[in-house]
Amino acid sequence: MSSIPDFAELLAGSVQSAVHLEMRDAYFTNPRFEAWANGEHVDWGDRASWWRLYHQNIAEAVARGVTVRRVRIVSEPVTDYIAWEHYQTRANVESGELVRWLPRHRAWDLLLPGTDLWIFDGRLMRVHHFSGDGEWISKALCDDPGVIGQHAAAFERVWERAIPHEQYEVK
């Protein structure tokens, strides 16, 4: 495929499901993470201060019947970045996303994809490529049913084993 639609377009085209698998313990530099690390916290009562276009896109998809699920596979003890992600996941949940966490030591016997990914309606997969230090490199799109089926099956195995966000405590 020559051009890759942006995330909002892929989500808008989804009718049943969008699943996201994250497997890194840290990602690229993020000003919101840096602010949190410096002691700044979200005013959850002021939705306008934390609600982003991403959350709106998720809320709209969920409102039209799309189930959006995310699993994060994490090392324990978690990195500061993952602790921040756990803290800010409230925004994902409030937008309608279902989020789970799987400690890496509980995933040792699962065959996992080599990179983070999104799968839309089980028919289209967007993979994300990062450098070793978590900087964004590129994304790719896959529409091969066999490849997507393998990754979707891996996601489901992770999802079944993972801990719901409201029950997972960062360690």
Per-residue confidence in pLDDT tens, the chain, 171 aa: 458 999 999 999 999 999 999 999 999 888 999 999 999 999 999 999 999 999 999 999 999 999 999 999 999 999 999 999 999 999 999 999 999 999 999 999 999 999 999 999 999 999 999 998 888 999 999 999 999 999 999 999 999 999 999 999 998
Class of the CATH-defined domain 7-42+67-167: alpha beta
Q: Which of 69, 73, 75 is nearest to 92 (CA)?
A: 69
Say which DSSP state 136 is in. E
